[in-house]
């Protein structure tokens, strides 16, 4: 006997609580127009501040580097292939593009505007509990870089200011329609 297919859910709206670790407030809109294929739109707002640190020259003289604030808005647009039917269900994998308009503000009041650009790839699992509650867990990697040269920064500001590969952890909760 063949099981009845699950109820179709073609849109999931989700909140990403793990993004708070890197000073980001982010949500997802997962649009699944046909089985297995989804478009993921993830707008975000990011803000983080570095701590002042002391650096020493070869003679041992200290210079304090002041705190800096990084903030901006942006988004990701991505694709996911799902193994499940009837919406965002099952194992998934896919790439995404990252674009952010950021500002770095030094403690002395000077500011630098730049774009944060990148690519990401993620794998994970998404389930719809009682066909409506969307739960997602996953991991991936991203390479992002600023459009202007920004000196090396502390975590989590380096995610928005320095060119390199970063690991990603995905967790979201939301509602599917």
CATH number of the domain enclosing 162: 2.40.160
For residue 82, give its domain range: 11-176
Name residue, tokens 């502390």.
154
163 occurs within a structural domain: yes
At 2 the three-state DSSP class reads coil
Q: Name which of 4-8, 52-56, 82-86, 105-109 the model is least confident about.
A: 4-8
Across the chain, what does the average pLDDT equal? 94
3 occurs within a structural domain: no
Using alpha carbons, select from 97, 103, 80, 90 the residue that is nearest to residue 33. Answer: 80
1 occurs within a structural domain: no
CA angle, 79 then 137 then 11, to 5°: 50
Amino acid 1: pLDDT: 66
Domain count of the fold of the chain: 1
60 is written with which tokens? Answer: 């041992």
Contacts of 107 (CB under 8 A, 6+ apart): 52, 66, 67, 68
4 occurs within a structural domain: no
The predicted-structure confidence for 46-88, as pLDDT tens digits, reads as follows 999 998 878 788 998 888 878 899 999 999 999 999 999 999 9
Torsion of CA 116, 120, 125, 126, to 10 degrees: 40
6 occurs within a structural domain: no
Rounded mean pLDDT, 107-135 = 95
Amino acid 107: pLDDT: 83
155 occurs within a structural domain: yes
Using alpha carbons, select from 167, 130, 126, 129 the residue that is nearest to residue 21. Answer: 167
Q: Is the pLDDT of residue 32 over 80?
A: yes
């Amino acid at each position: 006997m063949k099981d009845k297919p699950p109820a179709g859910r073609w849109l999931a709206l989700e909140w990403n609580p793990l993004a708070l670790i890197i000073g980001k407030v982010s949500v997802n809109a997962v649009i699944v127009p046909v089985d297995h294929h989804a478009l993921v739109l993830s707008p975000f707002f990011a803000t983080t501040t570095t701590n002042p640190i002391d650096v020493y020259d070869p003679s041992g003289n200290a210079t304090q580097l002041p705190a800096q604030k990084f903030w901006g808005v942006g988004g990701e647009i991505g694709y996911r292939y799902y193994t499940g039917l009837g919406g965002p269900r099952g194992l998934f994998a896919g790439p995404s593009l990252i674009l952010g308009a950021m500002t770095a503000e030094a403690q002395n009041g000077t500011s630098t505007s730049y774009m944060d650009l990148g690519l990401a790839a993620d794998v994970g699992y998404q389930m719809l509990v009682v066909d409506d509650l969307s739960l997602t867990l996953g991991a991936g990697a991203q390479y992002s870089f600023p459009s202007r040269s920004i000196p090396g920064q502390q975590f989590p500001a380096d995610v928005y200011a320095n060119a390199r590969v970063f690991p990603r952890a995905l967790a979201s909760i939301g509602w599917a329609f």
